[in-house]
Amino acid sequence: MKKKLMEYIEKFMCKYLGTEVLENVVLSLLKDLVKKTGSKIDDEIFNIVFNRVSKESDVK
């Protein structure tokens, strides 16, 4: 049941949401995860990924 629900959600998101929306969802989930863990390595990884994505979106 859970597997079918996840497949449905994945198909729905890929079909009806654009890549920018999905990127924003993933980034907001990453931000929440980093805030909860409080680990330095998580902060460093997040900053590297977030800065790279934000620079790419500024270029557009």
Is 21's pLDDT higher than 70?
A: yes
CB proximity list for 17: less than 8 A, separation 6 or greater: 25
**What does the pLDDT average to over 22-44?**
77
As given in the structure block, the two tokens for residue 30 are 């990453």
The identity of residue 33, as a single letter, is L
pLDDT score at 53: 61
Q: Is 0.75 topped by the overall pTM?
A: no
Give the pLDDT band (50/70/90) at residue 28: confident
Give first-to-last CA distance, the chain, whole Å.
40
Give the pLDDT band of residue 6 (cuts 50, 70, 90): confident
Residues sharing a CB contact under 8 Å with residue 25, sequence separation 6 or more, in sequence order: 17
